[in-house]
């Protein structure tokens, strides 16, 4: 079986504030292998947008719950992942 025939999942990735100015988009859908972990996805994002590394204290959420960016839970189809830089509301 070629890699193109392997099962895939689709994940929505959201970028906010300084981060979307780096990515030049507020969100995108990524098609990933079914065994992709949060850590894997973060690695893909940082490879694609290396300047995100210059933004400190970026937090990751999956379906509105915070997760460790180095964690191994596997992403599921239709998950919503967000990259959240330091906040300044109020």
Partner 1 sequence: MSSRDLQEETDKLETNSSNKPLKSGNNNDTLGPSSSSQRITESEIDVNDVINSMVDIEGHSGATVIFVGSVRNFGINGKVQRMYYESYAKMAENKIKHIEKMAMEKYGIKKIRIVHRIGELALGNNSVIIALSTPHSDDAFRACKYILAKIKQEVPIWKKEILSKGNEKWVDGKSIKTN
Binding residues for partner 1, per CB under 8 A? 3, 10, 12, 14, 16-18, 21, 25-33, 36, 40, 44, 48, 56-57, 59, 61, 64, 66, 80, 82, 84-90
Closest separation in Å from C-beta 1 to partner 1: 14
Q: How far apart are CA 64 and CA 80, in angstroms?
A: 8
Contacts of 14 (CB under 8 A, 6+ apart): 26, 27, 80, 81, 82, 83
Return phi, psi of residue 49, to 5°.
-130, 75
Residue (3 or 72) nearer to partner 1, CB: 3
Least distance CB 72 / partner 1 (angstroms):
14
């Amino acid at each position: 079986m070629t890699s193109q025939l392997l099962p895939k999942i689709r994940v929505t990735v959201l970028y906010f504030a300084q981060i979307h100015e780096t990515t030049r988009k507020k969100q995108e859908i990524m098609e990933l292998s079914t065994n992709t972990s949060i850590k894997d996805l973060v690695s893909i994002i940082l490879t694609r947008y290396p300047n995100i590394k210059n933004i400190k204290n970026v937090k990751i959420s999956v379906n509105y719950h915070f997760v460790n960016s180095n964690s191994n839970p596997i992403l599921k189809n239709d998950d919503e992942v967000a990259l959240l830089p330091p906040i300044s509301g109020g």
